[in-house]
Structure 1
Amino acid sequence: MIRPLLMCFALCVVYATSKPMEKKDRIHHEEALSSREHDDAKGYEYDHEAFLGREEAKSFDELTPEESKHRLGLIVEKIDNDKDGFVTEEELKAWIKKAQKRYIYVNVDNQWNDFDINKDGLISWEEYKNVTYGTYLEDPEVDDGYNYKQMMARDERRFKVADRNGDLIADKEEFTSFLHPEDYTHMKDIVVLETMEDIDKDGDGLISLTEYIGDMYNHEDGQEEPEWLVTEREQFVEFRDKNKDGKMDKEETMDWIMPSDYDHAEAEAKHLIYESDTNKDEKLTKEEILNKYDLFVGSQATDFGEALVRHDEF
C-alpha cells in the first residue's frame, strides 16, 4: 500500500512536469503568524492569532470574558514547562511555534492510526515500512514507474534522523518531524540532502547551474523560455554560488532553500512580554497574563454561555 503522502507527491511531480511554464519553488518560507495587521492601536487580533493559531483564536471570540480567562489560565500552565510559576520568553516562543504548527499535528493525528498497527501509541520503522511498502515487499519486481527500493531506503534514512533516541520507534513528536522535516531544526540537514539528491542529476554531490534551472523548468523543444529564467540564472551566479566554483554545495543549498528568516515567533514573544510584564523582570506570572487577557485571547459578552462550544486546549 502506498501512503497518501507518497501518492500526493507523485501527483505533484506529474503536475509540475506537465506545466513547463510554472516555476518550482523549493525555498521553505516561514508562514506569517496572522493574516491580520499587527497594530495594537486597532485591536489585538494579530496577537490572538499568533498566540493561539488562527482556528483556535476564532473559538475564543465566542467566549465570555470569564470563560476566556479560565481557558487562558489553563493554557498558561501548559506554557510553563518547568513549572516554576513563570513564563519566560523561550517558553512563550516555543508555545507560539507550536500553536502555528497545529495544522501539522492534526495531519499527523489523521494518519497515526494507519501506521500504529499494534496500537501501543508508537510507530516503529517496521510498522511504517509494512504499511507504506507492503505491496512492494510482497512483489519486489513490480514495475509501475517508481523505484520503491530507493524510496524505502530514503524513508528509512529520514526515519533514523527523526528518531532521536535511536530505537527505530517513533513517538508522536518524532513521527511528526519525520513527516514534516522542514519544520524541525534537527531535520534541516536531511531536507538539504534530499533536495540535492533530487536536483543533482550527474551524482557529483553538487548542484550545477544546468541542474538548478532544470529542476525549475521543464524544457520542451521549440518552446520559448520564460523571462524569469534569466533572473534565476543571475541569482545562481551572483548569490547562490557564493564561492564562485560554478556549483552549489551543501552549505550553499542550505542558504538557498532554508534562508535565515526573521523570527516572527521570537518577536511576538518579546512583544507580549513587554506589554504584560508589569514588574519588568522579563518574565510573566499567570496573574500578569490574566490581567492582560484581552491581549492574548479574544472574547465577547453574551447571555448564552451555556450554549458556547468548548474545545480542548493544545
Structure 2
Amino acid sequence: MIRPMLMCFVLCVVYGSSKPTEKKSRVHHEEPLSNLEHDDDKNNDYDHEAFLGQDEAKTFDNLPPEESKRRLGIIVDKIDGDQDGFVSEDELKVWIKNAQKKHIYDSVEHQWNDFDLNADGRISWEEYKNVTYGSYLDDPQADSEYNYMLMMARDERRFKVADRNGDLIADKQEFTAFLHPEDHEHMKNVVVQETIEDIDKNGDGFINLKEYIGDMYTAEEGEEEPDWVATERQQFAEFRDKNNDGKMDREETLDWILPADYDHAEAEAKHLLHESDANKDGKLSKKEILDKYDVFVGSQVTDFGEALLRHDEF
C-alpha cells in the first residue's frame, strides 16, 4: 500500500533513525552542484557535474571528444531558451539549476503513474486522496495509530497551494511543487505553517525555546545534555529569535528552515561565461562553447564510449 510507504518516508525524513543525542534538523539547504573540489587548475570535473548533473557527467567522461562536442551542441540548443543563437548568463543559470534538480523530476516521474489512475496526464486531489488514504477511507476505525484525518487535511491544504489555477487537478509542475514544496517560492508559506504546527506544542502559533529544543532533542533520564544543545540554545537567542520576544514567528521560522543560501548556480554560470566568452560580449555563441567544450563536459580519447552513443536525447 502506498499510504504506509508514504508514512514511513515522512517519518524517516523528519526523525530519521537518530539516537537521542544526535541533532535532528529541519533546515532545507540548497543541494551542492557537485561534491568535488572546485579547482580548475587541476581539472574541470566540478564544472562538468555542475553543468550536466552527476549521472550525465559520468556518461560524457566515457565519450570520445567529437561525440562530446556533438552532444554538447544539442544541449546548447536546449539552453538557448529564446532561440536568439546565444546563451546568456541567466539561461546558463536556469539550465544548471534544472540539472541539479533532475533527481526531483525523476522522483515525480517514478510516482506519477501510481496516482494518475485515469491516465489523463494529470492528478486530481481525489486520485491522490484515494491512492494515499484509500484503506483508511474505506474503514476509518481499522487503524488508529496515526491521525489520518489530520494528515489528509494537511495534504489537501498543500495540494491546493500547489494547484495554481485552483481546479484541484495537478499537472506535473504542480505535482512537483506538492511533493517538494521547499523548492518552490509560492510553497514556502505552507512549509512554514506545517513546521510550526509540528513543533508548536502549546498551540499559540509560535515556536518558543523549549519547543525549538524539544523538536531536536529529548533528554533521557540520567543522560547528560550534549554540547550541541547548549549551542542551539545560544543560536535561538542570538539568531533565530530576531526580535528577542522569546519565540519565533512565521518570518523567523522561514529564515530558519529555508535560509537564503549562496546561489551556487549563479556563481557557476558566471564562471562558465568568464571562461568561454572569447569576445567578452557577455553572452556565449555555440562556437564559443564548443571551442571550450572541455570546460563544460568531459571526454575520453578512446573508443570506450561508443557503446553509449545511442541515447534517446542525442
* TM-score between both structures, scaled by the size of structure 2: 0.94
Conserved in 1, the CA contact under 8 Å of 2:115 and 2:128? yes
Alpha-carbon distance between aligned partners in 1 of 2:303 and 2:223, rounded to the nearest angstrom:
65
Partner residue, 1:223? 223
Q: C-alpha distance in 2, partners of 1:269/1:14?
A: 36
- Describe the superposition over 1:221-266 as per-residue Cα deviations: whole angstroms up to 9, x where unpaired: 3322212111111111111101000000011111111111110000
Higher mean alpha-carbon deviation, 280-289 vs 266-275, is at: 280-289
- Give the Å deviation of 1:290: 1.2
3-state SS of paired residue (1:193): helix
- In 2, the alpha carbon distance for the partners of 1:87 and 1:33 equals 20
Write out per-residue CA displacement over residues 157-198 of structure 1, whole angstroms, 9 at most, x where no aligned residue.
Answer: 111111222222112122111111112222221111111111
Shift of 1:297: 0.5
**Alpha-carbon distance in 1 for matches of 2:41, 2:199:** 48
Deviations 1:39-93 (A, max 9, x none): 2111111100000011110000111111111111111111112222221111111
State whether residues 62 and 304 of structure 2, in contact with CA within 8 Å, keep that contact through their aligned partners in structure 1.
Answer: no
Residue type of the alignment partner of 1:197: E
> Is residue 14–residue 26 contact of structure 2 (8 Å, CA) maintained in 1?
no
Unpaired runs of 5+ residues, structure 1, are none
Structure 2 CA distance, aligned partners of 1:11 and 1:266? Answer: 32
Give the aligned partner of residue 296 of structure 2: 296
Q: Deviations over 1:202-236 (max 9, x none)?
A: 11110000100110112233322212111111111
CA shift for structure 1 position 279: 2.2
**Cα distance in 2 for residues equivalent to 1:55 and 1:84:** 29
Give me the CA root mean square deviation: 1.8
Residue deviations 1:271-311 (CA, integer Å, cap 9, x gap): 11111112222111222211111111111112355433544
The amino acid across from 1:256 in the alignment is W
**Which one is further off, 133-142 or 46-55?**
133-142
Distance 2:273 2:26 in 1: 35
Aligned partner letter, 1:112: W
Moved segments of 4+, more than 6 Å: none
Question: Residue deviations 1:91-129, cap 9 Å, x none?
Answer: 111110110111111211111110111111111111111
% identical aligned pairs:
71
For residues 118-166 of structure 1, give each alpha carbon's deviation from its aligned partner in whole angstroms, at most 9, with x where no partner exists: 1111111111111001011111233331111111111111111112222
> What is the count of residue pairs matched by the alignment?
313
Gaps of 5+ in 2: none
- 1:75 touches 1:313 (CA, 8 Å); kept in 2? no
Secondary structure in structure 2 of the residue aligned to 1:274: helix
Give me the TM-score of the superposition, normalised by structure 1. 0.94
- Partner secondary structure for residue 29 of structure 2: coil
* Cα displacement (A) at 1:13: 5.7
